Each structure stands twice: as C-alpha cells, then as structure tokens.
Structure 1
Amino acid sequence: MSDAEGLAAEFRDRGAKIRHPPTNYPWAYEMQVEDPDGNVLRFGSDSKKDEAFGPFLDMHGRLWPPSQGSAIVCD
C-alpha cells in the first residue's frame, strides 16, 4: 500500500473502527483497523525517514513489548 494516512481517512469516513492510527515503525508506517467481526487488520506503507518511531500496540490495544515484570494474558 502506498498511503496509510489516505487509507485511514477513507476507513474513518466510512465509519470503521481505527484501533491504532497510522504510526511510524522501523518496518512500516502502519495502522490497525477492526472489522465488523472483531478481527484486527494491519495496513502499512514505507516508514517515514524523518519521523520518530511510535509505540506498537498488539491486537488487544496493549503496548508491546510489555514493560519488565508484566505478564501477557491472552483473552
């Protein structure tokens, strides 16, 4: 995909649930969207070279990797 921000705007305009807005990571400029069945879909485009990397949230909206001493519990 070439434009994560444009896709996010299109999803928002259509009433989709954006779980995590477009965020810059070392591997991609990525976002998470929830479909009507509750599945989390990830879409991304090339990383932005001039933007700091953001926090990564897992499909449950939890920060990843977790801080030291915390446990991961899958529902």
Structure 2
Amino acid sequence: MALQHDFFALGGSSIQAAQVTALCSQALGNEIAVATLLTYPQLDAFATQVEQQLNALASSEDCEFEMEL
C-alpha cells in the first residue's frame, strides 16, 4: 500500500470510512468528518487535508487565546 492509493480502491466502504475517521478523531483529539475521507479518498490527500484542518484549528485557538488576554 502506498500513500497514493485510493481508500475505496483498496476495498474501503463508507462504513469503514466512518470507522477510520472516528479512530482518527479519537487519536487526534479533534473531530474529523467522514466527508473529509469521502472527498479526499487518496490517502496522501486525506492526510494533507486533516493536517490543514488541524493547523487551522490550532491557529484559531491561538487567536481566541490572544483575544482573551
């Protein structure tokens, strides 16, 4: 398996997509929507999108913290 493989081409289903995103959400401590994997089924694209979402969340939390000061 390579990062360029498609989740669904590897045999993944929508139910498994829900399980994968739930596990990712639990591991990362932030909600990852099933739609993310459905929209970005290539594993490298999914990982990039999740990373961007986490970075955006971290940036918004930094802004909220600075505003509270």
**TM-score normalised by the chain length of structure 2:** 0.30
Structure richer in helix, relative to its length: 2
Structure richer in strand, relative to its length: 1
Q: Which has the larger radius of gyration?
A: 2
